């Protein structure tokens, strides 16, 4: 599995992992800021962006992909930052290979099973009729039948591209993600606790990271710290990039 990635900057290595339906390009504001002090590697996880497709959507496999990327880049250690699904991949990597993770930052996700959170999203995506699709605006109208929020539709439609014959196709492996969704929504496999420095950042208005998840987090990450960005939802790094960036920077500075 050769993950697609974008690399820029100099300094200690920092790997950034996106969430479900995302790509490395979702992290533009963070990459620009963090590349001043860090060697930033933002990856497309399997079945997303320009990375290969695969049937296995489990966290052990996705963490191994990231480990393979680190080996390919000769990175003995790296700070890891992950959002949502990418946060679960990061947690799995830290627990399974603690010596390779210098520190861990998890954005708005816990190591628990979330159930079916994305049913409407999948319905909307499958409602887009690729055969005969003429424009992105037409796709947006079809997506809107199931997804009301324009910003969510705009995010999802970043996965729409034209193939060499000029036909619209999904860049992500939509069928594979749907079939493997139970693995994606589940908790990462239990491993030994990761005793390194960990920061969990919660969107103040999000219901993904709750007080009831504290025991599950502490059992896996005994040194976890917590920050809340008020007035943000699950996409906290996109909604308030300045506040998110400052929190990440301060945490990473503490690890120097």
Catalytic residues: 84, 234
Residue with tokens 């210098």: 102
The token pair at 45 is 């996880």
Taking each helix axis from N to C end, the angle separating 150-157 and 136-143, rounded to the nearest 10 degrees, works out to 130
d(CA 246, CA 230): 14
The token pair at 211 is 């007080």
Closest CA to 147 of 116, 170, 164, 124: 124
Q: Cβ neighbours of residue 196 under 8 Å, at least 6 residues apart?
A: 94, 98, 101, 102, 103, 104, 223
187-190 long-range Cβ contacts below 8 angstroms, 24+ apart: 187/88, 187/111, 187/112, 187/113, 187/216, 188/59, 188/60, 188/63, 188/88, 188/89, 188/91, 188/92, 188/95, 188/111, 189/58, 189/59, 189/60, 189/92, 190/220
């Amino acid at each position: 599995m050769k993950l697609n990635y974008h690399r820029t900057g100099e300094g200690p290595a920092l790997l950034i992992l996106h969430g479900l339906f995302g790509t490395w390009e979702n992290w533009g504001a963070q990459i620009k800021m963090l590349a001043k002090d860090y060697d930033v590697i933002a990856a497309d996880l399997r079945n997303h962006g320009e990375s290969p497709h695969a049937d296995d959507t489990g966290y052990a496999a996705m963490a191994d992909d990231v480990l393979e990327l680190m080996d390919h880049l000769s990175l003995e250690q790296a700070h890891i930052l992950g959002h949502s699904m990418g946060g679960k991949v990061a947690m799995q990597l830290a627990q399974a290979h603690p010596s390779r993770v210098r520190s861990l930052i998890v954005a708005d996700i816990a190591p628990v099973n979330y159930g079916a959170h994305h049913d409407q999203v999948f319905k909307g995506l499958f409602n887009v009729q690729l055969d005969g699709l003429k424009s992105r605006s037409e796709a947006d109208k079809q997506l809107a039948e199931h997804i009301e929020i324009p910003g969510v539709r705009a995010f999802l439609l970043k996965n729409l591209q034209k193939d060499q014959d000029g036909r619209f196709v999904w860049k992500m492996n939509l069928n594979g993600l749907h079939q493997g969704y139970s693995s994606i929504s589940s908790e990462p496999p239990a491993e030994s606790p990761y005793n390194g420095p960990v920061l969990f950042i919660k969107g103040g208005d999000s219901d993904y990271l709750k007080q009831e998840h504290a025991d599950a987090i502490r059992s896996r990450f005994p040194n976890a710290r917590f920050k809340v960005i008020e007035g943000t939802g699950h996409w906290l790094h996109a909604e308030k990039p300045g506040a998110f960036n400052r929190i990440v920077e301060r945490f990473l500075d503490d690890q120097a």
